Every structure is written in C-alpha cells, then in structure tokens.
Amino acid sequence: MEKVYVVKVGGNIIDDDAKLHQFLYSFAKLKGKKILIHGGGKLATRIGEALSIPQQLVDGRRITDAETLKVVTMVYAGYINKNIVAILQSHGLSALGLSGADANIILAHKRENAAIDYGFAGDIDSVNSNAISSFLGNDFSLVLSPITHNGKGQLLNTNADTIASEIARALSKLYSISLVYSFEKSGVLLDVEDESSRIPQINPDYYQELKSENKIFAGMIPKLDNAFKALDQGVSEIIIGPAENLEELINGATGTKITAI
Amino acid sequence: MEKVYVVKVGGNIIDDDAKLHQFLYSFAKLKGKKILIHGGGKLATRIGEALSIPQQLVDGRRITDAETLKVVTMVYAGYINKNIVAILQSHGLSALGLSGADANIILAHKRENAAIDYGFAGDIDSVNSNAISSFLGNDFSLVLSPITHNGKGQLLNTNADTIASEIARALSKLYSISLVYSFEKSGVLLDVEDESSRIPQINPDYYQELKSENKIFAGMIPKLDNAFKALDQGVSEIIIGPAENLEELINGATGTKITAI
C-alpha cells in the first residue's frame, strides 16, 4: 500500500513564528502524500481574553461555550489554517486547508452527560476517508483544523490529537500510515526535565511498566493511549518527537517510535 | 456547455441570521454545479473594534493593516466560511469551504502606489480554474471567502464582488456561467428608497443613460461595472437581486438581468 504521513503539530510550535516556519519547511519537503493536523490553543486563549470571553481549560481541554466556539473557529479554521496553507504554497506545496465540516470530512456529536460539561466539544463519529483519499489522489496535501460538525449545522471543537489518530485509523484501510506527533520535545522522555532522556522505542509491555512506575509525564498519556489504540487498529507506525526536522524524526535519528511488539 | 452558478451573497444577508439561513436553504436547493462567494464585513468591523483594532473603510473598502488582516482572515475564512459550510451540509449539500490560498485558487498581489494605501489589499492575478473545475467535477459546491494570497506566504484581503466576477470570467471558458449578485434589495432600483422601482433589465446603452442622469446608486456602480466587464469576457448571464429565493431570482420573477444587447 502507498504511504501516507499523518502529522500532528503541537501548540508550542504553532505559537512560535520561527519554529512554525521551520516545521512547515520540513513538512513541505517531506516526499509523498501527507496530511497536517493543527490546533492553536494559545492564540485562541489570547484572542478569547482580548474579546473578554473567559477561557477555561480542564486537564488541558477547553470548555467550549457558544462564544468560545466562535473564537476557536476563527482562530483554528481561519487565522492559523490559512496562514499555514499560504506558507506551504510558498514552498511549492499544493496545500488544501479544511475543517471537519468541509466535504463532510469529520462527523462528530456534542459530548453529553460527561462528568464535566465541555460545551460544544465534539466526539468523532466518522471520518470520510473517500473524500480524503480523493484529495490526496489529486496531489493535494491536506491541512486540517480541529473544528468538526454534527451534520445538523452545528460546528464542534474536537481534540486535534484525537483527530490525528482517528484519521490515521480510517485511512489505514487504504494506505500504509505513519502517524507522527511532532512537538517541541525530543520524544517521550524518562525525565521530563532532561531532553537527553529520550526513549527511542516503546512497546505495550514497556508502556505498562513505565506507567506503573509513574515515569510517563501526564500530558503524554493521552497521546500514547491514542497511539497504541491506533496501532491496534491498523496504523503501521507511530512516531513522537521534535517538529523541526521531520526527515530525521521519521528516520529515527530523533524521537520515539511506538511499536506493537 | 454545462451551467455553473457563481453566487455572491451580500453583507447584510450574512449579518442577519434568519436571512442567512433562508438564503443558504435556497442555495442548497439550486440544482447543478455552484459556487458561493461571501464577505462578512460588518462582523469583521465588530470583532476588530472589540479587539481595539480601529477599522477604517474608504468608499466601502477596508484599510487592511497587519492586525486587520488577522481579523478578516479569522472572520471571513474561519467563522463565517465554516458556519456556512456546516449549514449547507445540514441541507445535504456537499460543501467545500476554501480561501483563495487553498489549492492556490486565487493568486493576487498587494496593491501598491494607489492614491490611498489600502494595506494588505490584494488585486487578482489569476484564478486556478483547473482546480475549481476538478472540485466541481467531484460534485462539491464551493464556498469561497475573499482571502487570497501572493504565492510567497502572504495572505491578502480581496473584494468579494471582484472575486465573483473574476471567477465567473475564468470559468466561462469551461462552463456556461450565470453570475448572481444576491443581496437585500429587489434589484437595481431607479429610486433607491423605493423597492418597487426595480429595473428588470439593463443593457450597456441604458446603463450609460442611467449613469449620465445620476440615477444609479453609487454603491451599485462597482457591481454593474464588474458585471458588464464579465459579460464582455464570456460570462453568459448576470443577475442582481434579492437573496431569499434564488430560483425566483434566476427565473426573472425578481431582480435585474444585465445583458450585452
């Protein structure tokens, strides 16, 4: 099967102009079919506060009331998505920036009856892999913002890590998928304060051991849980590591590979 | 040649939730291939002012400094575009929301050396009719925000009326194009205060006569100038009129038809 890279880029990269440009240059140079998934939470928080809309995060997830939904739709699907597309075009990449509502790419439903009311937070029901495959087949590189919809006219705010793993999973029936979580760290670290403590490879047994010894940074656990779930469901390879040089990351010179055995 | 509708919707419709929903229902029901072009100036002005970014319009055109470019990109390409797409999807339409940067659909350059410095205002260089035609061929209805790019990573703010006529002109080599300017008025009016004074049809001679007698409302002149230019360049038909029922407008029951003879 043909290879497709599904690359999630972290918020700290989006928020730093120099790092974002370096990442996008690296993404544009990556050969083959590819999809970029971004958030942009820090800018959304700043714009929300400037508009006197108080922003509240619980466990790193945003409480999305109606006004905050407007803010994240403006920031993620508008400002950040279109700037990324324009920069990628300047590197000669035929980029196509979409939300989950466009071409009905991601259908979701509003999360109900959770212990915490996250407001207009969307949990994914389905990924339109036919539409994505048709765009990839026309040599477009996709840039996805984490705004989804419920099919009834309602936009929803969805976690970008989850979108990356759900897209990887759905496309794994059609392609050999490398799912890449790129961010500002060297990879999964044994000591979160020490960038040199990178773990080059983690399999399920080792992950259980690390978790039981509390050696995994809390913020990394949702990423790793998503990663192992995606591996179980057909994704070929999952890589977590620095965003500045995707070729080195994919080759294993940096970062952490998550493997099934 | 196959028919394509290129429909511009006016700012007063975008700004009124009930009118917007009625227009989008009508657009979704319109049979055949179609493209919707929207602005959203009033919301951009409100958001700009709420962010303490003073908004300045000269002859109805926005002075787009760097901060204002962020605002219009957020509002047009983000909030308004994605809400329109989600509503159209709820009516069963396979809508795809794009800016001019996506798929390199509209290449523009920053307006320089004009009498007034409009800032990051983009004048159109080219329309990627192959990409548009490929999307239409895959049964997508396009929703375009008036944010363009210069191919060097810079987004630009472009007049939505002009985008509509340039797209109509470019696509007229491939399709029979009906260019529709839909808004809150009954059509081109002899007396701007009197909705019953609609002119059902205007040809170039009559237009010159109306202009020399100062009978055309100033805000309508750029639309009509664009319309006659588009007719000269291969667009089949141009219609100006109310947005609430596109079928009636296209059938001639309402609105004004602009004709070459």
Per-residue pLDDT reduced to its tens digit, A24-75? 999 999 999 999 999 988 999 999 999 999 888 887 788 999 999 999 999 9
* A112 vs A182: which has the higher pLDDT: A182
Q: 3-state DSSP call for residue A158?
A: coil
For A198, other C-beta atoms within 10 Å of its C-beta total: 19
Does the CB of A83 have a partner CB in chain B at under 8 Å? Answer: yes
pLDDT (0 to 100) of residue A171: 97
Reported in sequence order, the residue ranges of A121-163 that DSSP labels E, i.e. its strands, are: 122-127, 141-144, 147-149, 155-157
Does the CB of B126 have a partner CB in chain A at under 8 Å? Answer: no
Does the CB of A51 have a partner CB in chain B at under 8 Å? Answer: yes
Report whether pLDDT(A210) > 90: yes
pLDDT (0 to 100) of residue B217: 81
Per-residue pLDDT reduced to its tens digit, A98-151? 999 999 999 999 998 778 899 999 999 999 999 999 999 999 999 999 999 999
Please enumerate in sequence order all residues whose Cβ is within 8 A of that of A31, keeping only pairs 6 or more positions apart, or say none. none
pLDDT (0 to 100) of residue B223: 79
Using the CB atoms, write b or e for B121-150: b if 16+ within 10 Å.
Answer: bbbbeebbbebbbbbbeeebbbbbbbbbbb
Nearest chain B CA: its distance from A177 CA (Å): 23
Say if strands B106-110 and B122-127 run parallel, antiparallel, or are unpaired.
antiparallel
Q: 3-state DSSP call for residue A166?
A: helix
Closest residue on chain A to B78 (Cα) = A78
Does the CB of A173 have a partner CB in chain B at under 8 Å? Answer: no
Closest residue on chain A to B89 (Cα) = A151
Integer angstrom CA distances of residue B47 from A154, B76, B178, B244: 21, 11, 34, 26
Answer yes or no: do B86 and A50 touch at CB < 8 A. no
Answer yes or no: do A77 and B75 touch at CB < 8 A. no
pLDDT (0 to 100) of residue A215: 86
Q: Which residue has the tokens 């100062």?
A: B214
Residues B195/B206, Cβ–Cβ less than 8 Å: no
Strands of the sheet with A176-183, listed across from one edge: A95-98, A141-144, A33-38, A3-9, A176-183, A237-242, A256-258, A201-202
Mean pLDDT of A201-216: 92
pTM for this predicted structure: 0.95
Nearest chain A CA: its distance from B104 CA (Å): 7
Closest residue on chain B to A46 (Cα) = B51
Say if strands B155-157 and B147-149 run parallel, antiparallel, or are unpaired.
antiparallel
Closest residue on chain B to A152 (Cα) = B90
Residues A174/A195, Cβ–Cβ less than 8 Å: no
Q: 3-state DSSP call for residue B206?
A: helix
Per-residue pLDDT reduced to its tens digit, A84-94? 999 999 999 99
Domain A3-258: which topology?
A: Carbamate kinase (3.40.1160)
HSE-up of residue B252 (Cα within 13 Å, Cβ side): 7
* B185 vs A22: which has the higher pLDDT: A22
Where do the H-state alpha helices sit in B139-245?
A: 160-171, 204-212, 221-232
Answer yes or no: do A82 and B79 touch at CB < 8 A. no
Report whether pLDDT(A192) > 90: no
- Say how far apart CA B177 and CA A136 lie, in whole Å: 29
Does the CB of A104 have a partner CB in chain B at under 8 Å? Answer: yes
Nearest chain A CA: its distance from B1 CA (Å): 24
Residues A14/A40, Cβ–Cβ less than 8 Å: yes
Identify which of B220, B113, B222 has the alpha carbon closest to the alpha carbon of residue B163.
Answer: B222
Read off the tokens for B205. 């001679």
One pLDDT digit (tens) per residue for chain B, 261 residues:
999 999 999 989 999 999 999 999 999 999 999 999 999 889 999 999 999 998 888 877 889 999 999 999 999 999 999 999 999 999 999 999 999 999 999 999 999 877 889 999 999 999 999 999 999 999 999 999 999 999 999 999 999 999 999 999 999 999 999 999 999 989 999 888 888 999 999 999 999 999 999 888 887 887 788 889 889 999 999 999 999 999 999 999 999 999 988
Answer yes or no: do B74 and A76 touch at CB < 8 A. no
Does the CB of A153 have a partner CB in chain B at under 8 Å? Answer: yes
Identify which of A36, A14, A74, A24 has the alpha carbon closest to the alpha carbon of residue B70.
Answer: A74
Please enumerate in sequence order all residues whose Cβ is within 8 A of that of B55, keeping only pairs 6 or more positions apart, or say none. B44, B45, B48, B49, B62, B68, B71
Nearest chain A CA: its distance from B142 CA (Å): 9
Q: Out of A79, A89, A97, name the one closest to residue B74 (CB).
A: A79
* A59 vs A163: which has the higher pLDDT: A163
Q: 3-state DSSP call for residue A132?
A: helix
DSSP code at position B106: E
Q: Out of B86, B99, B154, name the one closest to residue A149 (CB).
A: B86
Q: What is the CA angle B185-B106-B156, rounded to 5?
A: 80
Residues in A touching B149 (Cβ below 8 Å) = 85-86, 89
